[in-house]
Amino acid sequence: MARFSGIVSDIDGTLTHDDRRLSAEALQSAHMLSGRIPVVLASGNTLCFTRAVSKMLGTRSPLIAENGGLILPFYDSDPILIEPCRDELNAALNVLSKHFDLTVFDSRDRITDISFAKTVDKEEILPYLSDFPNIYFVDAEFAYHLTDKNICKSDGLIRTAKLMGMDAKDFVAVGDSNNDIDLFQAAGFSFAVANATPEVKKEADYVLTKKFGAGFAEAVDYLIQNDLIELEDNRRDFYVF
């Protein structure tokens, strides 16, 4: 098997516990990797949240937020915005709001997608989205998302890797929810943590035995023990300036 020169990881359910507390095992692994290999976070969460987690983990690499809608080349830069179909997103939300009592998350901070609580069965929601051909409905483990169908984590990774002078296949991906499936398909190798959905486990190259952030730590141990990643001795930043 080829060696890989980058790691891309989801956050919620992959670096955290099920209650979204950051995992001590994941934090320890991330600190060990810090500055020795690019660790790109690819989250459905907002930019401000993803940016803060990146700083705490010490990833020292670009990051991907809102399921690929925003890319941050370096920590203090302005993000690269992948322009969504805003009018259609808002129209879809208005239709759903007429039929369901929705709890919308991060409405002031979200730029490229719409996220709301999983208080309604998705099978009830999907028929109301049939009139919106440019909308992709994402069932993430911690929330539902309405996104532009042209915006996804895999596209975010491809764009980010290109900025870094790398290829998406140079990266190992770690994730747990269905919005990580396309990320797995773009990366060179993929791990599903033990709490991942059946669909994600089916797509993964390797299913880990441990759940949540402990699973991420297990993935890192596996990569090191099998000499599948290249760790630099001299720590540095991997941001794109």
The CATH number of whichever domain residue 164 belongs to comes to 3.40.50.1000
Same domain, 77 and 29: yes
Same domain, 73 and 104: no
For strand 144-148 and strand 171-175, is the pairing parallel, antiparallel, or unpaired? unpaired
To the query of whether residue 237 is one of the catalytic residues in this protein, the response is no
* Residue 241: half-sphere exposure toward Cβ, Cα within 13 Å: 3
Same domain, 160 and 123: no
User: CA 112 to CA 114: how far, in whole Å?
Assistant: 7
Same domain, 136 and 161: no
Task: Count Cβ neighbours within 10 Å for each residue of 213-224 and write b for 16 or more, e otherwise.
Answer: bbbbbbbbeebe
User: CA 204 to CA 201: how far, in whole Å?
Assistant: 5
Supply φ then ψ for residue 41, to 5 degrees.
-85, 135
User: What separation in angstroms does the CA of 168 have from each of 38, 145, 154, 183, 208?
Assistant: 12, 24, 8, 9, 22
Structure tokens at 34: 């810090």
- Any domain includes 239: no
| Enclosing H/E stretch for 154 | helix 153-163
- Any domain includes 155: yes
Q: Name the residue range of residue 170's domain.
A: 6-81+151-225
Q: Are 79 and 69 in contact (CB under 8 A)?
A: no
pLDDT in the model for residue 207: 98
CATH of the domain at 95: 3.90.1070.10
Binding-site residues for substrate, in ranges, read 153
- Any domain includes 210: yes
- Any domain includes 215: yes
Same domain, 76 and 162: yes
Same domain, 73 and 93: no
pLDDT in the model for residue 79: 97
Binding-site residues, in ranges, read 10, 12, 153, 176, 180
pLDDT in the model for residue 74: 95
Same domain, 121 and 65: no
In angstroms, how far is the first alpha carbon of the chain from the final one?
32
Same domain, 28 and 91: no
pLDDT in the model for residue 1: 62
pLDDT in the model for residue 107: 81
The number of domains in the chain is 2
Same domain, 102 and 212: no
- Any domain includes 52: yes
pLDDT-flagged residues of the chain (< 70): 1-2
* Residue that finishes a domain, picked among 148, 167, 197: 148
Q: Catalytic: which of 10, 148, 170, 182?
A: 10
- Any domain includes 230: no
- Any domain includes 231: no
pLDDT in the model for residue 108: 87
- Any domain includes 1: no
Same domain, 174 and 124: no
Same domain, 76 and 185: yes
Same domain, 95 and 121: yes
Q: Which residue has the tokens 């599948």?
A: 228
